[in-house]
Amino acid sequence: MALRKIVTLPDPVLRKKARPINKFDKDLQTLIDDMVDTMREAPGVGLAAPQVGISERLIVVEYGEDTEDENGEIIEGPKRLFAMINPEIVKTSTETELGVEGCLSIPGLVGEVERFSTIQVKGLNRRGQPMKVKAEGWLARIFQHEIDHINGVVFPDRATKVWKPEPEEEEEIV
């Protein structure tokens, strides 16, 4: 497994609608593993193939909800890793939430983006088998952000406000 270079704007691959994947070979498995390693090293919670310069419909997401114990201590929740090929949002809630997002391909900027609170995503797993994910809250936000990438959309396109965060603010942004 190897780390891949994360491309940044204005690289044109970030603005293209990525092509579907229909070949589940060794190269795809290597790409998935490399993307997971690259996402973790960055560090990030999601990564789309266009972000590593490959215009294909593949995303990886890794996220776990933190909880608070009775003393107010934060307990890190178990993380779930998803690798999804040809993902598409098939169901959304009517409710939306405003949240602050950043992006590995747009370093130094964050923005307020309105996203659906709950979504259902379908796609294929790394072996080409159908999979469905119901996501809410931050996990739903991450999936929507990454699916935007494979459609050539970056968060500033959807943001109501974009700014350069203060150093203490950067630690709080997903």
Q: Which residues are catalytic?
A: 146
- Give the pLDDT confidence score for residue 173 in this predicted structure: 55
Q: CA Rg, the chain, in Å?
A: 16
Whole-angstrom distance, CA of residue 55 vs CA of residue 15? 10
- Give me the chain's average pLDDT, please: 94
pTM for the full predicted model? 0.92
CATH topology of domain 12-170: Peptide Deformylase (3.90.45)
Contact 113, 101 (CB under 8 A): yes
| Per-residue pLDDT reduced to its tens digit, 9-64 | 999 999 999 999 999 999 999 999 999 999 999 999 999 999 999 999 999 999 98
